[in-house]
Amino acid sequence: MSFRKILVANRGEIACRVMRTARDLGYRTVAVYSDADATAPHVAIADEAVRIGPAPAAESYLNIAAILDAARRTGADAVHPGYGFLSENAAFAKACAEAKLVFIGPPAEAIAAMGNKAGAKRRMIAAGVPTVPGYLGDEQDDERLTVEAQALGFPLLVKAVAGGGGRGMRLANSLAELPEALAGARREAKAAFGDATLMLERLIAQGRHIEIQVFADAHGNAVHLGERDCTAQRRRQKVIEEAPSPIVTPAMRDAMGRDAVAATLAVGYRGAGTVEFIVDGELRHYFLEMNTRLQVEHPVTEMITGLDLVEWQLRIAAGETLPLRQEQIRFEGHAIEARLYAEDPYAGFAPQTGTVLHFRPEDALRAGVRFDAGIAEGGKVNPHYDPMLAKLIAHGRDRNDAIRRLIAALEDAPLLGVANNGRFLRDLLDHQRFRAATMHTSLLDEWAAEGETILRQPQPTDADWQLAAALFAGRPGWRSDSVASFDLMLACSEENRKVKVGAGATAIDWTADAHGHLCYTEDGITRHATMHRDGDTLYLARDAAVFVFREASPLPAAGNRNDPAIARAPVAGTVARLEVGTGDTVIAGQTLAVIEAMKMEMRVTAGAAGIVAAVRVLAGAQVEAGAILVELKLEEST
């Protein structure tokens, strides 16, 4: 099972992460890329790179034939799948084996066994591992699923049996919500995993999501590397992860670790895997699923164990035994990871696209801080892939140490040019519920429904407006006794404001270097911020918040973006489906179309009641943010 050159069948930060360890161990690396990623960081750091297709994942990163051909052409003799895409695809693992390539992951049989969530639960029940009550049957018609749902009781989860990452999962709080939950989960599962089979699972109310990192070799050995707490989630997708869990006792860790190792041995596993549990209010744990791959959040385990999990993967794939026995594994300190997403948490976490104008994670590096990034300045964020841009990880002596270091890192390394969740992450880490470790898996969704303060967009202060005006004026050191003065009309956060610069204005001295580091003095206090000027747009970042200022035109804007008669695409993406046709009568709030971007579906609804006057797009079309989808003729009363 020896190998010398590894093809990484992935993109972004995980491809970069795997290549770093592979290079440290003396392996050569091959990157694959789509047309959208031709200049991406993972392509630049690999020894060789091969184009495998157009931007859509189905035509590139999910194209098994193209990836195997890239391995053949470059002489790669091993494949690392990363996570996502084909990482849990048994057919891909089998195809690699048939092509005489070492698959750096579990056997195809183990992937198949644990990749199907329903089948995996059956195995766990047989192995005596506690599981959440649910329906795992083969009968998939709505009538049978409805009967089973009523027997389980509401609320419950509708889940795709394939895949992971929260895709193909819907919450049904009542019988009335079940039909849409079934349809939505099927549709998303089919698009993401090619398998629309569903299962039902009773919802553990206010549960905590705890997972156990496991490893097994080809010699019958298996160990666990402790737990990770992934409770901070929105829409069933993880936002912040930490290790160890602040609620897990040594006895819980031993019990969950034993169950996780039992699950691993039950399927003849090999390599890295994660056994996920949900923990209820009485601290009882129930098996959810096993992810047969490296996890996004693996760095927190690395930080508290001092181990390189990718190195373990490579050594096990090469036929070596596990580097350590269970009793030799030690845990030290506390680690927390925050996922930096291209999404707007103040607009329903809508995915965002654009060009990264400023991102310098090196500005935040300090003891115990690590960045895993798959994007660089000048890189373009497109709607074809997952919105995660980077991961920030901090390790400290204790949990408070880790929180403090991670907050500072988020403040010191803002990403400008693409709306992201950096400030939200900072505020969440500092929220009393997170600090007190009283989060549960649905809390962020509850906050979104209730309009919690943490999900309200920060607004620029008067000082921010004055500083922005001085920066637009382009001259450091505007003094109140200056001869020249004038007013600037600026716009930020849907507010227009006239700001005086020069005589009579607030005195602001400032300097900025070529890297966007800004130093300014106001009222005798010197502070630091980050700035980037892009034409008539100024990005100003402080305390992890990014304010986008523009010079406002005195002329009225062309067209009304809030016109209820015009339905626009909220983000750049694909028209997954159209719900109406010309001449249809609609009511306010009715779904007109569904846009898919970054593996998420977003409904576009009618702003008012009326008749569909025109449908401007076709199903399957690519659209830009703001593109007109449907035009309505409103009711006269409207």
Q: For 520-530, how does the pLDDT look when each residue is reduced to its tens digit (9 = 90+)?
A: 988 889 999 99
- Is 483's pLDDT higher than 60? no
Q: How many CB atoms lie within 10 A of CB 628?
A: 16
- Is 76's pLDDT higher than 60? yes
Give the per-residue pLDDT at 163: 66
Tokens 């049989």: give the residue: 109
| 389 or 189, higher pLDDT | 389
Give the per-residue pLDDT at 61: 97
* Cα–Cα distance for residue pair 294/537, rounded to 1 Å: 40
Taking CA atoms, 177 is separated from 128, 198, 208, 235, 594, in Å, by 33, 16, 24, 16, 18
| DSSP 8-state class, residue 346 | G
At residue 232 the predicted structure's pLDDT band, cuts being 50, 70 and 90, is very high
Tokens 């098994």: give the residue: 64
- Is 340's pLDDT higher than 80? yes
What long-range pairs does 592-596 form, CB within 8 A, spacing at least 24?
A: 592/567, 592/629, 592/630, 593/567, 593/617, 593/629, 593/630, 595/569, 595/570, 595/571, 595/623, 596/191
Give the per-residue pLDDT at 478: 45
* Cα–Cα distance for residue pair 638/627, rounded to 1 Å: 23
| 123 or 372, higher pLDDT | 372
Taking CA atoms, 44 is separated from 50, 157, 373, 608, 626, in Å, by 11, 42, 13, 49, 33
- Token pair listed for 371: 């960045």
- Is 177's pLDDT higher than 70? yes
Give percent of the chain above pLDDT 70: 96
Highest mean pLDDT among 44-58, 103-117, 123-137, 156-170: 44-58
Give the per-residue pLDDT at 477: 46
Name the average pLDDT for the chain. 92
* Cα–Cα distance for residue pair 638/634, rounded to 1 Å: 6
- Is 494's pLDDT higher than 90? no
- Token pair listed for 96: 């690699």
* Cα–Cα distance for residue pair 570/269, rounded to 1 Å: 43
pLDDT digits (tens, 9 = 90+) for 585-599: 999 999 999 998 887
pLDDT digits (tens, 9 = 90+) for 497-512: 999 887 666 778 899 9
* Cα–Cα distance for residue pair 57/39, rounded to 1 Å: 17
- Is 480's pLDDT higher than 70? no
Q: How many CB atoms lie within 10 A of CB 556?
A: 7
Between 9-18, 263-272, 327-336, the lowest mean confidence (pLDDT) is in: 263-272
| DSSP 8-state class, residue 478 | B
* Span 288-317, average pLDDT: 96
Identity at 208, one-letter amino acid code: R
- Token pair listed for 261: 């190792």
Report helix, strand or coil for 515.
coil
Give the per-residue pLDDT at 479: 46
Structural domains of the chain, with CATH: 5-104 (3.40.50.20), 133-202 (3.30.1490.20), 209-455 (3.30.470.20), 462-551 (3.30.700.40), 566-634 (2.40.50.100)
Dihedral sign from CA coordinates of 203, 209, 210, 214: positive
Between 99-113, 114-128, 293-307, 621-635, the lowest mean confidence (pLDDT) is in: 114-128
- Is 559's pLDDT higher than 80? no
Report helix, strand or coil for 555.
coil
**Residues in Cβ contact with 116 at an 8 Å cutoff, skipping those fewer than 6 apart:** 161, 162, 197
Give the per-residue pLDDT at 600: 78
Give the per-residue pLDDT at 312: 98
- Is 79's pLDDT higher than 50? yes
Give percent of the chain above pLDDT 90: 78
CA atoms within 13 A on the CB side of 192: 29
| Helix orientation angle between 399-412 and 422-429, rounded to the nearest 10 degrees | 160
